[in-house]
Amino acid sequence: MSVFIDGETRVAVQGITGRDGSFHARQMIEYGTNVVAGVTPGKGGQRFDDAVPVFDTVEQAVEETGAEASVIFVPARFAADAVFEAADSGVGLVVCITEGLPVRDMMRVMPYLEERGVRLIGPNCPGLIVPGQAKIGILPGQIVREGAVGIVSRSGTLTYEVIHQLTTRGVGQSTCVGIGGDPIIGTDFVDCLRAFEEDGDTEAVVLIGEIGGTDEQVAARWATENLSKPLVGFIAGQTAPPGRRMGHAGAIISGSEGTAAEKMRTFEDLGIAVARRPSEIGEIVAGWMEEA
């Protein structure tokens, strides 16, 4: 089993002929992802690397190839329209790597997706990877290892660090999901925790949060009541000053609930393991897996 995608998922790449789209499409294909189509308006009929057919629209790509998921590598000013187009095409999953989407665009996007039952991961995220099966996005495939630890994270860079820590300790991952750090995102912590709870191949979960908002507290409370698997949390930005944005657009402290200290206190009060430093995550999880 896996979360959200597997080795059979048929993927279309929006923006496949652009700089970022072409680079990461090749990386996904090399990893083994079932990339069946590319989409670039005006370039329909071409073939990407003499292998992947390119279409003018996502609708055409879905009709011709049966694509089930789309990943977006287009500039921010076009990204919302790209999400709308993907949602109208019939795909069930959209992964938006693009950063810099205005909040007002996301306020239009989310109700549209919910009406159509389409899952969005992102925007401003690294995507997701199922080790040994497939990756959609920009997560580096060389650092993952097949295993039983699920990872959900607001921070792309910390996701890579934690994956590397676990892999070097011989602890593999079931699915790793970067949900993005913008104020409005599609799939959130609770969505991922629920999916990990239902995944028979996931035995433990790592949650990597950041300052700003209350999503981590909400996730911690949900996990206490619903997650039967061990969970460890880490909150980035423990020394961040109030009122200053750190990294992601959503990582800003505007009140006491958005601080790292408050988030960590919530985890501890609920009996959830908390790592004070990223290096502790590997130690905690490795200990769990050895006991199991």
Query: Which DSSP helix (H) or strand (E) runs through 159?
Result: helix 156-168
Q: Is the pLDDT of residue 256 over 60?
A: no
What tens digit of pLDDT does each residue of 94-150 get?
999 999 999 999 999 999 999 999 999 999 999 999 999 999 999 999 999 999 999
Tell me which residue of 72, 70, 71, 40 sits closest to 53, measured CA to CA. Answer: 40
The class (CATH top level) of 140-291 is alpha beta
DSSP state of 142: G
Burial of 51 (0-12, 13-18, 19+ CB in 10 A): exposed
- The pair of structure tokens assigned to 122 is 């992102």
**pTM of the predicted model, to two decimals?**
0.93
What pLDDT score does 245 carry?
Answer: 54
Say whether 248 is catalytic.
yes
- Looking up tokens 């959830």, which residue turns up? 272
Tell me which residue of 251, 231, 54 sits closest to 152, measured CA to CA. Answer: 231
Q: What band does 236 get if pLDDT is binned at 50, 70 and 90?
A: confident
Three-class SS state of 37: strand
Whether 207 and 291 have beta carbons less than 8 Å apart is answered as no
Tell me which residue of 186, 193, 163, 138 sits closest to 22, measured CA to CA. Answer: 138
Domain chopping of the chain, boundaries: 10-121, 140-291
Length of the chain: 292
Residue with more model confidence, 46 or 282: 46
Q: Is the pLDDT of residue 249 over 80?
A: no
What stretches of the chain show up as alpha helix (H) in DSSP? 19-31, 58-65, 76-89, 103-116, 156-168, 189-198, 215-226, 260-269, 278-291
What pLDDT score does 2 carry?
Answer: 82
Three-class SS state of 94: strand
What tens digit of pLDDT does each residue of 2-51 get?
899 999 999 999 999 999 999 999 999 999 999 999 999 999 999 999 99
What pLDDT score does 244 carry?
Answer: 54
Q: Is the pLDDT of residue 243 over 60?
A: no
Query: Measured in whole angstroms, how far is the alpha carbon of residue 102 from the centre of its chain?
Result: 19
Q: What band does 279 get if pLDDT is binned at 50, 70 and 90?
A: confident
What tens digit of pLDDT does each residue of 209-221 get?
988 888 999 999 9
Average pLDDT, integer, range 86-95: 98
Check 248, 250, 259, 282 and give the catalytic one. Answer: 248
Least confident of 1-5, 169-173, 222-226, 246-250: 246-250
Give Cβ neighbours of residue 108 (< 8 Å, ≥ 6 apart).
80
Question: Is domain 10-121 annotated with CATH 3.40.50.720?
Answer: yes
Fold match flag (10-121 vs 140-291): yes
